[in-house]
Amino acid sequence: MATTDIHTHLDVHHHDDHSHDHEHHEGNFWTKYIFSEDHKVIGKQFLFTGIFWALIGGTLSVIFRLQLGFPDANLDWLRPILGEWITGEGKLDPEFYLALVTMHGTIMVFFVLTAGLSGTFSNFLIPLQIGARDMASGFMNMLSYWFFFLASVIMFISFFLETGPAGGGWTIYPPLSALPQAIKGSGTGMTMWLVSMALFIVSQLLGGINYITTVINLRTQGMSFTRMPLTIWSFFFTAIIGLLSFPVLFAAALLLIFDRSFGTSFYLSDIYIGGEALPHTGGSPILFQHLFWFLGHPEVYIVLLPALGISSEIIATNSRKPIFGYKAMIGSMLFIAILSFIVWAHHMFVTGMNPFLGSIFMLLTLIIAVPSAVKIFNYVTTLWKGNIRFTPAMLFSIGLVSFFLTGGITGIFLGNSAIDIQLHDTYFVVAHFHLVMGSASFFGMLAGIYHWFPKMFGRMMDNRLGAIHFWLTFVGVYLVFFPMHYIGIAGFPRRYYSWTNFDTFNGFFDLNMLVSIAAIATLAAQFIFLFNFFYSIFRGRLASTNPWYSNTLEWTTPRVPGHGNWAGPIPSVYRWPYDYSKPGAKDDYIPQHIPYSETPESNLPHENELIKLETSGEQGAIIVEGKH
Amino acid sequence: MAADIKIVEEAKKPLSMHPQKFALWLFIVTVIMLFGAWTSAYIVKRGDIGWSEIVIPNLFYVNTGIIVLSSISMVWAVNAARKDNLEKLKLAISITTILGVAFLVGQFLAYGEMIAMKEFFTGGNVSHSFMYVLSGAHALHVIGGVVFLLIVLTASFKNKVHSKSMVRIEMCATYWHFLDILWLYLFIFLILNR
């Protein structure tokens, strides 16, 4: 016994070695809260910045919904905020409308659902759930946030330019985005967009390198890949996808910058402005689309996978059942990650590409339905006959599954290259991606906040307000996006400022009004969340260390974990994270750090073999033979 | 008693490698994707009408020789450090750094040669712009590599690089060899696609 004791002590010590240097100093305000290298603080910084951007992005959408829902309304009352962007007749400036749509997309996709979602939860959860003191490089992690912050500042400043922020759509297709003289939104605003996004990419790469390194190298004893929670698996895949796809966006953006500012012709050819030919020859705008969508499609899964991982964890915990098909969940995420790189041209069916090539991309695209269906099946079978507890996090996770299904089904329509000729660039596309990627990921983010709030701030959020927030948002989202399917099938194109000049589309006046009212109500409902969030940070009920009776390692830390996460040695892991309601067990959950030798009543035969139990007669004590 | 049992059952320690080295490899992956995107774009563009083929400046051949030599002296430096042969290490790492700077100067002079051949970055054909983008972006990475070399150089002159402290020079070598291989790839790519 004595020998084993010493042996492990050394082991634990060795394990802690690399983080010893920054474990013992607390630092002043600046190093503790601002330039912190603690992954938990950095995660919260991402969260607060993400919430700030979500509010701005949401407000922008409501402003352009006002225009779409109430085209005749006088918007003079917005003049104090928007100034000259409201024209003399009290209408929204058409070019500002384009900027609104562009910025809404950019902010939501990149700043909220990429940085705000993976930035928050990868940073906060990876070290806590794999049993590490911190990220592999705290300094790089801090840099990652501050690059994002700088990107945010530049993007925010572009709102206050006289020519307004970027207006070429979040996909910034050239030649519109490449020619500053094209529209106001292609001027300085576009330059700042590109600079901001370049910094953003640097931030994502720094973060991604850190996440992957941490997951692979800093797992605690016993945390094999098959014992990792699905959250970690999803963050891991997300980081890999980001690492492979963001450099390609950087390559595309750099060439666009050269075209815009230096006079090269990568994307430009044969363009006449005011009867004068521009000097650019030999470029191809389709080239940009290929490069952009090589990032753009994986980006969809960068946004979605973390949300799916979070909901897997929450649904298993609150169903009090092991996740159904743990390995199938990992496999389907891996499959989705691989497929995400070979389907990009389904965004380009109508660019005049070879129809044969189109049918290959169509086939690959439709195959994504298989792993997605596996995931939905596993969610439903996890819920099936579970002892379900409807916490707000659970509600939002179930909402995610609903959106993922509803929005995913329309993906099968859009993935068909023939049907896409009719549906391309209509509100059908808008409805599809807002449900499957926008709302689903947003719900995943909210679920994550509700679930891990007690670990982040040591207090509980109010469940009743959470439930109200859920139902208003859930119903609101469907009211906003479901009618858009009909508008889209009728051929109403996206990004149009006004449709009242076209007889064909006049019939959707009332439907558009309904959508706009629902959008306003949904945004208003988010203030319930904001109140709940900020109130609970300061005045919420004190949380216990494990309020959801969950299995994963983060709930073995103190109520508010300090720098280094565990006061004593890092716990070791002996089992997978989903031992809920195991037959014979005392409680309906067995945390990961409980050895099989302590739970003889619930062990399965192969688990007993794992530990080679020997019972001695005296005092009923258990003596275990270690593997040395 | 219970505590003892926990300890005895200590699970296997997961496989892991030096985190910083691992992060460097991941960084290399991102650079590969960056240049992969550009060279794919080059191939796609080459199929378009109005493409004019490139002429490779002669200095590129010389520079290729220089950077390959610098890789060899880098191997020499790492071996010397591993054998604690510090004088040899200082010589080898100095040679590598000088060759690295020489490569950068050579690339800059090659641009002069390209301009003399009327291959301009802007205003001309896209193929010429691509030449500048590929070699220019590579040169930026080489500048980073030279800075890294200078750091290791200073450390080795302070006798801080030896067989017990190899992480820095090993990472530097990994990156430097990668830059060498990347240039060889770009160079052969341009030769095959002209």
Residue A207 has pLDDT above 60, yes or no: yes
**The domain A38-270+277-539: what is its CATH number?**
1.20.210.10
pLDDT in tens, A220-272: 988 999 999 999 999 999 999 999 999 999 999 999 999 998 988 899 888 88
B148 to chain A, closest Cα gap in Å: 17
Angle, to 10 degrees, between the axis of helix B19-46 and the axis of helix B126-157? 160
**Better pLDDT: A37 or A445:** A445
The verdict on B192 touching A (C-beta cutoff 8 Å) is no
Q: Do B34 and A251 touch (CB under 8 A)?
A: yes
What are the structure tokens assigned to A91, written together? Answer: 């209408």
Q: Is the dihedral of CA A592, A595, A600, A603 positive or negative?
A: positive
Q: Do A596 and B23 touch (CB under 8 A)?
A: no
Q: Which tokens is A198 given?
A: 């370049």
**pLDDT at residue A26, as a whole number:** 57
In chain B, residues with a C-beta closer than 8 Å to the C-beta of A625 are 8
Query: What would the mean pLDDT of A612-623 be, rounded to a whole number?
Result: 40
For residue A249, give how far its alpha carbon lies from the nearest alpha carbon of chain B (Å).
8
> Among A118, A42, A61, which Cα is nearest to A441's?
A118
Planar angle of CA B94, B99, B100, nearest 5 degrees: 95
Residue A469 has pLDDT above 90, yes or no: yes
Which residue matches tokens 């006959």? A385
pLDDT of res. B12: 56
pLDDT tens digits, A64-98: 999 999 988 899 999 988 888 998 888 999 999 99
Domain locations in chain A?
38-270+277-539
Against a cut of 0.80, is the pTM above it? yes
Q: In this complex, do A221 and B27 lie within 8 Å of one another by their Cβ atoms?
A: no
pLDDT in tens, A503-533: 777 778 889 999 999 999 999 999 999 999 9
Closest Cα in chain A to B130: A266
Residue spans per domain, chain B:
20-46+58-192
Q: Which residue has the higher pLDDT, A166 or B6?
A: A166
* Burial call A580-608: b when 16+ CB within 10 Å, e when fewer: bbbeebeeebbbbbbbbbbbeebbeeebe
Residue of B nearest to A222 (CA): B11
Return the percentage of chain A with pLDDT > 90, whole number. Answer: 74
Residue A498: per-residue pLDDT: 84
A10 has a pLDDT exceeding 60: no
Tokens for A347?
């965004």
**A-chain residues within 8 Å CB-CB of B14?**
219-224
Q: Shortest CB distance from A287 goes to which of B5, B41, B137?
A: B41
Report residue A27's pLDDT band, with 50, 70 and 90 as the boundaries. low
**B25–chain A nearest CA distance, Å:** 9
**What burial letters (b/e) apply to B67-76, b meaning 16+ CB within 10 Å?**
bebbbebbeb
Q: In this structure, how many other beta carbons lie within 10 angstroms of the beta carbon of residue B61?
A: 12
CATH 3.40.50.720 matches B20-46+58-192: no
Interface residue B122 vs chain A (CB under 8 A): yes
Shortest CA distance from A260: residue in chain B:
B122
Report the 3 state secondary structure along A83-142.
HHHECCCCCECHHHHHHHHHHHHHHHHHHHHHHHHHHHHHHHHHHHHHCCCCCCCHHHHH
**How many inter-chain contacts (A to B, CB under 8 Å) are there?**
158
Mean predicted confidence (pLDDT) in A151-155: 97
Q: B166 exposed, middle or buried (CB, 10 Å; 0-12, 13-18, 19+)?
A: middle
CB A203 within 8 A of CB B16: no
* A474-502 pLDDT tens trace: 999 999 999 999 999 988 899 988 877 77
Asked whether the beta carbons of residue B37 and residue A262 sit closer than 8 angstroms, the reply is no
Tokens encoding B18: 């030096």
Q: Which of A243, A264, A266, A344 to mutate to test the interface with B (most CBs of B within 10 A)?
A: A264
| Cα separation, A392 vs A532, whole angstroms | 12
Output the pLDDT for position A23. 43
8 A C-beta contact, residue A110 and residue A200: yes
> Are the Cβ atoms of B14 and A290 closer than 8 angstroms?
no
Flag whether pLDDT at A1 surpasses 80.
Answer: no
Per-residue pLDDT for A8 more than 80? no
Residues in A closer than 8 angstroms to B17, CB to CB, are 217
| Percentage with pLDDT > 70 across chain A | 93
Round to whole Å and give the CA distance between A327 and A329: 5
Task: Read off the pLDDT band of A34 (50, 70, 90).
Answer: confident
Across the interface, which of A5, A279, A573 has its CB nearest the CB of B11? A573
C-beta atoms surrounding A617 within 10 Å: 6
Q: Which of A5, A13, A15, A248 to mutate to test the interface with B (most CBs of B within 10 A)?
A: A248
pLDDT at B10: 47
pLDDT at A30 over 80: no
Is it the case that residue A13 has pLDDT exceeding 80?
no
Q: Is the pLDDT score of A15 beyond 50? A: no
Average pLDDT, rounded, for chain A: 89
Query: What is the token pair recorded at A214?
Result: 């941490």
CA angle (A339, A343, A346) in 5-degree steps = 150
